[in-house]
Amino acid sequence: MPDLIDSETLQRVLGAALSTGAEWAEVFAEDRRSTGAVLDDGKVEELTSGRDRGAGIRVVVGDSTGFAHTSDLSEAALLETARIAAQAARGAGEAGRTVQLRAGESTLRPVGIYPDDIGKARKVELLTLADQAARTAGSGITQVTARYSDSRRRIQVANSEGIVVGDDQVRTLLSVSCVATGDTGMQTGRESVGHTIGFELFDRYDVEDLAATAAQRALTKLAARPAPSGQMTVVIGSGGGGVMFHEACGHGLEADLVEKGASVFAGRLGELVASPLVTLVDDGTLGGEWGNFGIDDEGHVAQRNVLIEDGVLVDYMWDGLRARKEGRTSSGNGRRQSYQHLPMVRMTNTYLLGGSDSPEDIIADTDSGVYIAHLGGGQVNTATGDFVFGMTEAYLIEGGRITEPLREGNLIGNGPAVLGNIDAVGNDFAMGPPGTCGKDGQGVPVGDGVPTLRVHGLTIGGTAA
């Protein structure tokens, strides 16, 4: 992969960044190309393509960080940007240090078909197929929106420790949203698929099946009863509830929030914080998943990090800045939205390992409760762990059987309490749909997953009398 900036220029830019006596400096360069298309009710509403290219320069002195960015990758612009960042950091150490760069480790994933090599007409054709398949699922389908996107993100990271590394990240996604209308009003259904691979995504997944699934979810809810209210046992389906653990537990295990005291898990390393059935992992190496990459946005190789093991909190997630303060290595969780942003501690693919129970036995052993096939978005207070999530597909459990579908309601609880109240974990682990994690105004691609699991004492906020 050709460099975005040559090594000689990088060395001079890093020298300029260190010129006022900074302790550490970094150059992050990025070249991102993207394509998007939206088909709404059979008409192409959007067809876009874009390119964003530039570099961000970070300079660190003690607890002070100077940061500046530029869309101009010429040496003159980079040198000026480095001087601005250095002045912002106001170093007082030894000036005039030079940096000798050496190639670091980088893991590049093979891409079968680069999306740039596929014409826009073919991409729109996929959306048309999805629209037709969704409408064929039933006469109750009154609206279909299909979205396609792809991106290729090339990055290069060099720092004053002498490391220069690069990565080439290709992602492809398609989603279908449907509205069904009947006597109970309008109901919605959605399905999406996205991976860190190229256009070969559509050799693995059938677009028409995807659309039919989204449509069927909406149609099923036309005959659904209102969700109950109150505290009850909840069974979360394989792959469908990972977002709850991402939000309610994962963010609280990010070292920056721990450092600020804004995490309920602060100061609890080595403690039992969950059921012994729970092992929680964050894994940027998970090939092809939405949060997969070769290196993070600080140049550290992606890692598989066990956070909770058999219920015991064993580690947090770390970026380079906080890891250096603690005299340890980064866990490969330094991520940023673009070259215009500072990196921060972020999740990658966060998931619960599978257990030994069959999902059929978990259901059969549950006398009454709610089965949640899919959770939607929600909110969480990381300092307390309290959360609220929407249930986008849920069913009653009666007498050990999944029975009637439920209309959308809320799932309310507390992250640490959920971890402690898990009493069954299935052997059917699956990753869920692709997601975008928002934090401090930045969004990055993430994945999450769970096996079927059962939790006692969750609150369902429904509308049933």
170-222 pLDDT, tens digit per residue, is 999 999 999 999 987 899 999 999 999 999 999 999 999 999 999 999 999 99
pLDDT, position 377: 82
Q: What is the mean pLDDT of residues 6-13?
A: 96
pLDDT, position 182: 93
Distance between CA 345 and CA 292 in Å, rounded?
A: 15
- Reported as a pLDDT band with limits 50, 70 and 90, residue 462 is confident
Closest CA to 151 of 54, 56, 50: 50
pLDDT, position 159: 96
pLDDT tens for 41-65 read 999 999 999 999 999 999 999 889 9
Q: What is the mean pLDDT of residues 227-242?
A: 94
pLDDT, position 95: 54
> Are the C-beta atoms of residues 132 and 124 closer than 8 Å to each other?
no
pLDDT, position 1: 59
pLDDT, position 183: 87
pLDDT, position 73: 97
pLDDT tens for 358-372 read 999 999 999 999 999
Q: What is the mean pLDDT of residues 27-36?
A: 98
pLDDT, position 107: 60
pLDDT, position 333: 98
Say if residue 291's pLDDT is above 60.
Answer: yes
For the chain, which residues make up each domain, given as ranges? 230-461
Say if residue 445's pLDDT is above 90.
Answer: yes
pLDDT, position 161: 94
- Residue 63: other Cβ atoms inside 10 A: 7
pLDDT tens for 56-101 read 999 999 889 999 999 999 999 999 999 999 999 876 555 556 677 7
Radius of gyration, alpha carbons of the chain? 24
Residues in a beta bridge with 461: 410
pLDDT, position 380: 86
Closest CA to 285 of 313, 265, 310, 304: 304
Average per-residue pLDDT for the chain: 94
pLDDT tens for 237-285 read 999 889 989 988 999 999 999 999 999 999 999 999 999 999 999 999 9
Residues in a beta bridge with 154: 31, 168
pLDDT tens for 334-345 read 999 999 999 999
**Burial of residue 308, with CB atoms counted within 10 A of its CB: 0-12 exposed, 13-18 middle, 19 or more buried:** buried
- Percent of the chain surpassing pLDDT 70: 96
pLDDT tens for 119-166 read 999 999 999 999 999 999 999 999 999 999 999 999 999 999 999 999
Distance between CA 64 and CA 87 in Å, rounded?
A: 11
Give the side-chain half-sphere CA count within 13 A for 285.
Answer: 12
Say if residue 20's pLDDT is above 60.
Answer: yes
pTM over 0.75: yes
- Reported as a pLDDT band with limits 50, 70 and 90, residue 116 is very high
Say if residue 406's pLDDT is above 90.
Answer: yes
Lowest mean pLDDT among 97-101, 448-452, 455-459: 97-101
pLDDT, position 318: 98
Distance between CA 208 and CA 198 in Å, rounded?
A: 19
Lowest mean pLDDT among 74-83, 375-384, 402-411, 449-458: 375-384
Say if residue 288's pLDDT is above 60.
Answer: yes
pLDDT, position 85: 95
